[in-house]
Copies of this chain bind each other. A is one copy, B any other.
Amino acid sequence: MESEAIEIRGHIIDSLILPRVLDEIVEAGADYRMARFEVGKSHDDPSFARIEITAERDVLDRLLGRLADLGAELPDAGDARLVAADRDGVFPDGFYSTTNLPTQVRVGGEWIWVDNPEMDCGIAVSDARARTVPMIEIRTGDAVVCGYEGVKVHPLERPRAGSGQTFSFMSSEVSSEKPQGLMVRRIAETMRSVKDEGKKILWVLGPAVVHTGSADAFCALIRAGWVDVVFAGNAIATHDSEAAIFGTSLGVSLDQGIPTEHGHEHHIRAINALRRAGSFEEAVATGLLTNGVMYHLVTHGVDYVLGGSVRDDGPMPGVITDVLETQREMRKRVPGLGMAVMVSTMLHSIATGNILPASVPIVCVDINPAAVTKLVDRGSIQSVGMVTDVGLFLRQLADSLEAS
């Protein structure tokens, strides 16, 4: 049995950090002693705890790593241990697996920040810089952090009521039985403040935006400048083009709501027409597309990534068919993001959630509560799920932002 002391400080009681730390210790079967404990006298004062933990060495090591993830400092931590990768695309055994929280590693006695927090990656160190690296991108010889020592994770503090955190009210339970009109207004406010800070808004879109006849509302948001980056798949590009060329989505007339003759062929004919054009840019230039989401992305210079999937027809021109290449293109767009709005797509939303740092708030909107729950559970403390109709949501949001 060995002992180690950890220290935690900050709003550790009402941010639930202390209870979680004690919980981990107890769950691990370790003993602890509160060596020192100072509670903030008023609610703005930080608190401080020094806890001595006793357990078998291996239990202790795993436990310390877990506590570091919760923000505990190991008082006598040394430098992070670096091990050179011995082959491409494979981490050394015992690599430190990242969270999506702000993280520091100690290198040469200095705590340096890790660039681009992203979960389930490794940390590579070179030239006194640390960066997250996806497994597939690691190269033989890269110095990779191993073990939990010399790594410090900074949990996001829970937003306080009244602290101007417009999202705090929503961050609880995912339910359709909420005042949706109010939520839309709060999301609009958050979008305004993100843009005021000069940051970008990312939209992740599924084809229901087109099927529900709400592409118009989304186009209004593009025109009014609320869309900086779009991640989507082949399906929305397809049905949006189908709508632009044939006036249908999945063969259903968007004006009449009824299936049209041969409508089930429209999407495949739209793909063929776009492949013939060669690109969405060319299709706009030649007048094949004169409205819709893709037309607006092109004409308003919105940066977009179309990622392919195995269920795709076609695919449309510009769709990236290699999923690793799609991930690379998505990662390039993360810096500068201030917010992500995910609408009616599980696949691309999860993919995006995987690469976003916890500091980027997520709004996830879907009529399927299971989809929303799944996404919000993965997300940051600032994530908000909204179970609602996508079409009516986009319309109300456009109204709230006076975009329409």
A332 at the interface (CB under 8 A from B): no
Q: In chain B, what residue has the closest Cβ to A186? A: B257
Q: Is A395 an interface residue when CB atoms closer than 8 A count as contact? A: yes
A residues 311-360 near B (Cβ < 8 Å) are 311-315, 321-324, 326-327, 330, 346-348, 350-351, 354
Q: State whether the Cβ of A392 lies closer than 8 Å to any Cβ in chain B.
A: yes
Residues 162-213 (chain A) with a chain B CB within 8 angstroms = 168-170, 173, 176-183, 186, 208, 211-213
Contact partner of A367 among B62, B354, B388, B391, CB < 8 A? B388
Could you say which of B14, B24, B169, B369 contacts A257, with CB atoms under 8 Å apart?
B169
Residues of B contacting A9 in the complex (Cβ-Cβ under 8 angstroms): none
Q: Check if A32 sits within 8 Å of B43, measured CB to CB.
A: yes
Partner of A391, one of B32, B87, B180, B391: B180
Cβ of A42 < 8 Å from any Cβ of B? yes
Enumerate chain B residues within 8 angstroms of A37, measured Cβ to Cβ: 37, 39
Indicate how many identical chains form the complex.
4
A323 near B313 with CB under 8 A, answer: no
A348-B66 Cα distance, complex, nearest whole Å: 35
Cβ B276 vs Cβ A135 within 8 A: no
A135-B268, A177-B211, A276-B90 known; A160 and B34 CB under 8 Å? no
Stretch at the interface among A71-79, A248-256, A288-296: A248-256
Distance in Å: Cβ of A125 to nearest Cβ of chain B: 18
Q: Which of A149-157, A220-228, A258-266 contacts B (4 or more CB under 8 A)?
A: A258-266
Are A214 and B181 neighbours in the complex by a CB distance under 8 Å? yes
Q: Tell me how many residues of A have a C-beta within 8 Å of chain B.
A: 111
A245 within 8 A of B: no
**Are A323 and B308 neighbours in the complex by a CB distance under 8 Å?**
yes
Inter-chain contact A26/B14, CB cutoff 8 Å: yes
Q: Is the CB of A179 within 8 A of B213?
A: yes
Let me know if A141 is at the binding interface, CB within 8 A.
no
Smallest distance from the beta carbon of A10 to chain B beta carbons, Å? 13
Whether, in the assembled complex, A112 has its beta carbon less than 8 Å from a beta carbon of chain B, the answer is no
Q: Are A43 and B19 in contact (CB under 8 A)?
A: no
In the complex, are the beta carbons of B182 and A62 less than 8 A apart?
no
Inter-chain CA distance A308–B253, complex, in Å, is: 34
29 A–B contacts from the bound complex (CB under 8 Å): A13-B13, A14-B22, A14-B23, A16-B16, A16-B19, A27-B161, A32-B43, A33-B41, A33-B42, A93-B272, A135-B268, A135-B314, A136-B314, A136-B315, A161-B258, A176-B389, A179-B249, A179-B391, A180-B213, A181-B212, A182-B255, A307-B310, A309-B309, A309-B310, A310-B327, A311-B350, A311-B351, A389-B393, A392-B396
Using a CB–CB cutoff of 8 Å, the interface residues on chain A facing chain B are 13-16, 18-19, 22-28, 31-34, 37, 39-43, 62-63, 65-66, 87, 89-91, 93, 95, 97, 120, 135-136, 160-161, 168-170, 173, 176-183, 186, 208, 211-214, 249-250, 252, 254-258, 261-262, 265, 267-269, 271-272, 275-276, 307-315, 321-324, 326-327, 330, 346-348, 350-351, 354, 367-370, 377, 387-393, 395-396
User: Which 9 pairs show the lowest CB-CB distances between chains A and B?
Assistant: A179-B213, A392-B392, A177-B211, A311-B351, A389-B389, A388-B389, A169-B258, A310-B351, A97-B265
